[in-house]
Structure 1
């Protein structure tokens, strides 16, 4: 019977919270202590002086309430996110505004009462965050909170008497500093907690090192290290709707899973305020978090997160080749996802860098320095790029092949146009037929401004191939064996006018494919193609 009365009393209290006592005055008190911690999960009303957990669904805003019955009382609020960073806003609504809104709604039944909520504070982050309002006002306080990255537990504390005191005390300088850093490890140290005394040993220090993310709260570390449990079933009132709502909430929940083995290094250091981490990899970034831990109540608070990057390997790796200005590079990626790393040095600031890339397959091509990524593109077929205003530096070229493997790439880099040795195509790569007879065809195409060798080939094809008209394969590194060379000419087209030539020696009523290829010179094996032209000669002369 007492439990039933207690539930009935709490239901009435809940109604008073949600309406903010439409018939109350400032002299009547609504105290934190009137709420019960065991009913927080259903009612979402914070109890006083108790730190309570709450499970949040990813990207779902939830409202949590508490009230104050007196003016000029301080307000202390602490929010501790765990698995995910959170965004939260604290708003206040006074009793007087609630009363006027209720009266306005009573006068016009079909209208909704106006909102007079005042925003007191807004915060976003993954850290333990305290908010203090020295002169609070009586009324209803609402916390609107949302998990930003994943489902998460969050711990909340509110009081009008004193701030949260269960956690260890941080030193004034709560930073973690690097004392030594090498290619395979690093050493860090920090100041001791002022709560630590020579007469007892309740304070100890825990440390976590990982490569993925910082842990700004101890519960964040535990969530990622051990994984979160699903929200438990809470049916304090045992209403059918309440049971159904809880089941739906649990069905939507997706708690994070524990980290893989050895993904997070977590150690209890006792009273030590120094730590050396060995077994790191060269040139990698590590997140370091130190926690001041109270052994008696098992509460912990984090010092400032530290990011450490180990030193890179000494010198240049023997596998890294340096590219000469204007030299064409050729590489075949035999294995899936194989990568190639090379270097290109610019000895003085360059207005332009010409890049020609000829790929059979698909590759990811990247150019960067230590400070900036200058170029990153997925490339296939033949492409030319121009990078502008490059400073003096050593540039790393990283090329990654496709998942299938077997990609072939030819490319060249130069800061001087006269050293660009790869053949060049104009933007317009079509070849057109001007006049066709039974024995010859006159063709036109646009040339390039630099001196190059143009070769024209003819290939007799079937009616079926002529109908399909396959696209030009820029990947092909050899001329079709069935093709016959018509002529090769070397010249420069200063004004990029259309070039006209005749292809002779054809047969009547036959299908032909005409190919125009470009080389630096006749002996060069590197070439690029114009679009193929498909023609049919006249039936009779």
Structure 2
């Protein structure tokens, strides 16, 4: 049974300081907008309905959901009336009254054709509510059921995650295809209804998809929102000045681990079980949890002259700390980025001396005092693993890393390129060193992986013997003449090749030049 159009009868009952909202016939949930004050007059909103003659003995329910502030609402019974003559009722009795901000349902029983009125009042501020009236009290399809124990349990807490679990709604077990759970995460407080949560999101100035994005249709999101779809899970993140509001719908799973939270922060969690056909929902009892403090990163002690190789996992740890106490006034830090890009920060006695992003080789020569404490922080620049070699040394005359040329780029000559040969050149140094050349036939889709994701710290031992072209020694006191060329023959026409040069100094540590990709000519 829907709301009945009894506009004329309601008009005769209108009071001086009230405003009439004409009712309309509907089969779903109706939204009512309440104006709290207007010209210092309190607005009471009224809806009228009549139970039909053939349903006079049937029970009926009225469900009201406040969407923001507490409201007051009541159900009135108007008896001894005649709908045909439209006389004013002689008796008006209040049969139900409620004040608060929780979802509340009144169930009544009518033994005769009766005329009812619903009154709604908001005294705090303008707000809106949802109202649903029905005589179909047995189907239970509209509003999903909550379990006997509707609490949300926190079963795991970390510095960046919180794991939640809740008991299944009986509606999920009966109508699995039409019901799903949606989770709301925020840093302010819990919400007693889905409607209240949506109102709070809208009031923050953000555009929110209807019903917390309950269906998986695409939405037009503004720059404040990030939508993530994976494994039939919809997650919408709203960026606000006070933090984030996350809306996550995960189907019928009743456990969920909320990822990417901030350490030492209190979050509030609300779970709503939602009927996808009607957008009606029921709210579990919200909970809250505080994430753990981020563990202090372990400080690695650096030893003079020793090279350490670190794998940096940006997902597990934001930065890595290295410490060194100087035994000499002059020291030198050397960094070799093996894969990815690494942010390096060097501080002495708490004062930052250098901060750079490194994607190759970098030396920092510093001068201080004896027993100065140096702290190095390394941070990966992307979400994938990065690796880096680090050395600090006060013995400049015994460098572990070989002397490097001005540039580690390999140059190829287009005019000297043929169908079966390629000529490349690279710079050398003033130090006698060994240079080994390797080639590898690759495909177009392998270029990115071979060039940008390759381990730049790996040496010739990591290459297959069939890829080796030659090894040779050279140097020149005059750096302008410290350059060598090499022609690689026996190649196939119109084929893509990857060329690498490895420099190995007296210490035996290899340095890989930047890879060069060249295609032989198709026709000669």
Q: Fold-level match, TM-score > 0.5?
A: no
Indicate the TM-score class for this superposition, using the shorter chain for normalisation.
0.3 to 0.5
TM-score, normalization by structure 2:
0.40
